[in-house]
Amino acid sequence: MAHFNWLQLLPFVDHHYIHVWTGIAVSLFLILFAFVGRLALGSGSHAVIPSGKLSIKGLVEVVLEFIVGLSDLVIGEDGRKFVPMFASIFFFILINNLVGLIPGMTPSTDNLNTTIGVGLFSFLVYNFYGLKENGLNYLKHFMGPVLWLAPLMAAIEVVSHCIRPLTLGLRLQGNILADHTVLGVFVDMFSGAWFIPVPAIFYGMGIFVSGMQAFVFTMLSMIYISMAIAHDH
């Protein structure tokens, strides 16, 4: 039996495609948020002045600085051109995960169609830039260091690369589905006013898991790109 979702109140939303419409809604929200945020930054020197108080702008600045620093650590300064992509992946996964904490909403990231789709996007990007940066030399690392082992190594490497979108998707979907299922069970068990602290603990855990899974997915995408564009294949 399908669970109720607020998006089902829209006449054109079929419950079989809730994950699709949730993903679309989150994407539109992020586009609008980015547009409004860019307008709020202003232009010139005002755009680079840090926010002096707690605000959404300040929070986003902290997250973006963290992503830039992580990219510099994993890839180097060459990785800064990928920061918009890493930030997009991180915020898309994070907001989708957090949506699942809202009663009556289902995160699109608890559906394999979404998570494997994002994993496939990461897979295509790192292979594209691997070929762009290294040309046909990129394919040499599939062959291994010893010529006579090349056929075996090529088969192993191709399989290991092809299952990366699947492992990325399964890890994300499994963790989010499990976390939100546990949260739902405990919220139902302790729904009385006297038991508010108990669901609050699991909501806190849900927020932590949502952020951690977005971080892990983004981090692995960085590692894959770093390995693909390295010139020491």
The stretch 79-93 carries a mean pLDDT of 91
**pLDDT over 80 at 162, yes or no:** yes
With beta carbons less than 8 A apart as the criterion, state whether 219 and 74 touch: yes
SS3 per residue for 170-191: HHHHHHHHHHHHHHHHHHHHCC
Of the pLDDT bands very low, low, confident and very high (cuts 50, 70, 90), residue 22 is confident
**Residue 135 zone, left/alpha/beta (φ > 0; ψ -120 to 50; rest):** left
Q: What is the pLDDT of residue 3?
A: 64
**pLDDT over 90 at 213, yes or no:** yes
pLDDT tens profile 145-159: 777 777 888 888 889
Q: What is the pLDDT of residue 60?
A: 75
Average pLDDT, the chain: 82
Q: What is the pLDDT of residue 143?
A: 77
Q: What is the pLDDT of residue 45?
A: 57
Specify the pTM: 0.84
The stretch 195-217 carries a mean pLDDT of 84
Identify the burial level of 122 via C-beta atoms within 10 angstroms of its C-beta, where 0-12 means exposed, 13-18 middle and 19 or more buried.
Answer: buried
Domain regions of the chain by residue span: 14-229
Residue 214 or 203, more confident: 214
- Name which of 42-46, 80-84, 129-133, 137-141 the model is least confident about: 42-46
Q: What is the pLDDT of residue 120?
A: 95
The stretch 36-56 carries a mean pLDDT of 63
With beta carbons less than 8 A apart as the criterion, state whether 34 and 46 touch: no
Task: State how far the Cα of 184 lies from the Cα of 186, in Å rounded to an integer.
Answer: 6
Of the pLDDT bands very low, low, confident and very high (cuts 50, 70, 90), residue 4 is low
Task: State how far the Cα of 17 lies from the Cα of 79, in Å rounded to an integer.
Answer: 35
Strongest mean pLDDT among 16-20, 152-156, 175-179, 207-211: 207-211
